[in-house]
Amino acid sequence: MGTHATQGCVTYGSCGFFIREMIDRSLSMLYPIQNQIRNKMDLSGIWDFQTDPEEVGEAQGWPLGLPQSRPIAVPGSWNEQYSDLFGYLDLAWYVRRVHVPPAWQGQRVFLRVGSACYHATVYVNGVQVGTHEGGHLPFAFDITDHLRWGEEAVVAIAVENRLMPTRVPSGNMPSMMGLFAGTPRTTFDFYPFAGLHRPVWLYTVPSIHIQDITVTTHIQGTDGQVQVTVQLNRPDPAQGTLRLRGEAGGAEREIQASLSFVEGVAQATLEVPQARFWSDRDPYLYQLTVDVAAEGADGRVADRYSLPVGIRTIAVQDGQILLNGQPVTLNGFGRHEDFYASGKGLNLPLLVKDYHLMRWVGANSYRTSHYPYSEEEMQLADREGFLIIDETPAVSLQFGDAENIPVRLQVCLQQLQELIARDKNHPSVVMWCVANEPMPARFGLAALEQNTPDPAEGAGKEFLETLLARARALDPTRPVTIATIMGGPRSWMEQCDVIAMNRYWGWYRYGGELDKARDSLAQELDEVWTQWRRPIILTEFGADTLAGHHGHPPLMWTEEYQAELIRMYLEVAAERDFVAGMQVWNFADFAAVQSIMRVDGVNHKGIFTRSRQPKLAAHVLREFWARE
């Protein structure tokens, strides 16, 4: 789908992709649930752990137990749990023994890892069952045939997070930063935490089971329409039922429809009169249950899966983003999964705290910079009504090394497919971002002064447009974008439905000169709007600020300077109807590489400190956003 706002109104239904031939039956991203048929067991907790820099573990039998282990928490980054592991990114082993309930016999048992950064190899009872490359996204392996019922199972996961030019994101490449380059040698400005960052699950499904569900919603007047596609793990004929429970016609109701599977796929539509629509102000969720009948006529249910559904539409029209037909502004933040001790590990109390603080300043949106966030976070966003720009791990792509571009492209396409398969049914996800700050060949302040084409412009444009096209093919129901870097080629914006701009006027350019920064920001916004006539979101803007550092006049690095810069950006945006969102960089200070740019190895652009205390700029945001 290549339609843009300049060609009229582009309306996207909620949640789903339609191209059946692109569905991989081996790619199951349904979140594990417990019900009358399915089972699950969370293996989060303390595991045995040992580093393996010489890579001798497999040959020496470590998949069955570690010779010199120490305890480690899962989920969590190993770099934050032990001081001697802070800079360690090579191979390490996790091992845990688990008793699989005998009642699970007769079903297929899967081991599912929520995120392993970056490459993982999984073993069960000493046998390798699979590998996965790429962090921040889940993967699962059928381990049924490797279990010995009545005995403990030994689960081992070997993980490494080496920085390599062929990986996404990349590392250990020639740096464009010169003296400002840091260690570890990333191409990106956040710490490359390693380890098992999200829960590890055991779960079961029956032999014939629901492999995938795709939900798409539409609105006609006051009525809602819920279109559901269900896919089985085998191309078998079967019968089933859909049940949607929630508010309809002003009362709690259950709406049903029948499913008839042909080659393992069935579709049905549920009509919801006087539906209650999902939005950032009223995030109402219906409960959808899918039943598949067992063979025969006894009415027994062979498999069942339930998930929340939000009825909503998203549209792009004339410089605006429309939620359920009404203009909406995506105000909030770029963020990071980052905290003391847990690193990038799932931290549920912190997640609740962050959502509370975002609501306190009046935010309704954020971007999952610069990788997919946890499934638990997406579920909370659905419940709390945040509008999410969902981003792949493709941060700081470079196009100067032609020999590595094809490999990186294939990794990006894999990550994009896994992300969309995982998050397609979340009403909170309103946009896909296929890359953050792809890098021109000329980078830095000098690039802003040159009017000649960038040497990487052609290769970068082809690469990025391939990702945009694939996102539209996988999911034509949502707009797509790229978060563009300051000084990058504007031609890279051409195929975006929404223009996303990361801009640092007043910090990296015209630092300390906010009047010049204001004029440059206003001029660039007007030029981009005139060229593309599409809604613009400033997906990054901000200034490094040391908490408690004050000055009069407001000098750079003081809380006063950050507050004045944020105020200036918000004032410029408020003068332009085509600005459809403002997302401050960053919600909170976060761990970065060590360099002369990063005091204490931290990026200090947060509106809150890393420990979640507000800086002065947080009150400026409340002044602009909390009143709306």
Please provide the DSSP assignment of 267-334 as one string: EEEEEETTB----SS----EEEEEEEEPSSSS--EEEEEEEEE---EEEEETTEEEETTEEE-EEEEE
Phi, psi angles (nearest 5°) of residue 71: -75, 150
Structure tokens at 159: 């993980």
Tokens for 46? 């303390």
- Name the catalytic one among 80, 160, 391, 437: 437
| Residues ≥6 apart with Cβ < 8 Å to 125 | 64, 146, 147, 148, 153, 154
Quick one: tokens of 452? 């000649």
The DSSP bridge pattern shows strands 579-585 and 116-117 to be unpaired
Helix and strand numbers, DSSP H then E, in the chain: 9, 33
Strand 330-334 to 579-585 pairing: parallel
Contact criterion met (CB below 8 Å) for 400 and 456: yes
* C-alpha–C-alpha distance, residues 617 and 236, integer Å: 58
The yes-or-no answer on residue 376 being catalytic is no
* In contact, 264 and 232? CB cutoff 8 Å: yes
Q: Do residues 384 and 364 make contact, with C-beta atoms less than 8 angstroms apart?
A: no
What pairing do the DSSP bridges indicate for beta strands 108-113 and 200-205? antiparallel
Query: Are 267 and 227 spatial neighbours (Cβ–Cβ below 8 Å)?
Result: yes
Inter-helix orientation angle 457-474/405-423, to 10°: 30
The residues annotated with a catalytic role in the active site are: 437
